[in-house]
Each structure stands twice: as C-alpha cells, then as structure tokens.
Structure 1
C-alpha cells in the first residue's frame, strides 16, 4: 500500500501519490480541496489513468504528515522544506 506491490500499481502507491501531491501543488500552501483538484489535474496531464479516490488521497496526505513533510495550519496545507521537517 505504501510502496508498489503485486496488487498496488506504482502510480497508486501512497509514496507515489504523496510525491504527486507535492509536484501538483508545487509545494505552495493550498487548501485540501485545492490540493485534491490540482492532483487530479496533474494526473490527467501526466496520463495517470489509474482511478484515485479521495480516501486514497487522504491516506497519502497522512503519509506526508507522518514523514514530517506537510502540516495543516488554519485549514491550509503547508509543505515543509526538508530542513524544516522534524
């Protein structure tokens, strides 16, 4: 689930989806809704056809938070620079 497996395609692994979120938002502060819409647009532009549910998106955000790469501040996702991560 976190990494690609026999049952989880590489573009759907949570690490990959987390990276896609970072790329899609360009590490700019965004709301959850903006991040979701930008991710869907980014996946469409980059020909990622595997379906992605909002729940899977939320799990990828949870993973980014657990890794210390993002935090939520007043309903806005703030991406932390690598040096700022705990």
Structure 2
C-alpha cells in the first residue's frame, strides 16, 4: 500500500487481499495506513502458504526503501492502483 512513489510504503500479509485493501481504503485497515493515507495497492505477491508470505513480508520490511521502489517499478512502473486488477493478479 502506498500514497504515491514519493510517499510512504506499507507491507503486510492477508489471506483475503481484496477485502483487506478495501478496509484500508475505507480507513478501517491498519492504523499505519490510516495515519498516512495509504489507499493505493501498488504491488502484490501471492503465496500458497501463509507461512511463506510471512517470511517474504519480514524480508521486504528489512529492505532499504530503494530496493522496495525497484521491486514496485518492475511490476508497476506507473504506480497504478492495482485494486481493480485483483482478479488478474
């Protein structure tokens, strides 16, 4: 989740991405997203096992900001909100 390429980035894990993104968009998601106005889904990965997703989340959270930006730009160079594309991710 983000509010733009020069803004704040949020990394999280969920078993229901469309529902969780909608919660963030409605202001009912994490306090962090609400505080910084993070309403745009700009990057997502899918895993069969939640344990694998949690490992990946923890790794990404340790990354430098520039690494995260490169990861996002590789999939979404225009920083489009991917929420409406969720059926295709």
Same fold (TM over 0.5): no
The answer to which structure has the higher strand fraction is 1
Q: Which has the higher contact order (CA 8 A, sep 6+)?
A: 2
| TM-score for both structures, normalised by structure 2 | 0.31
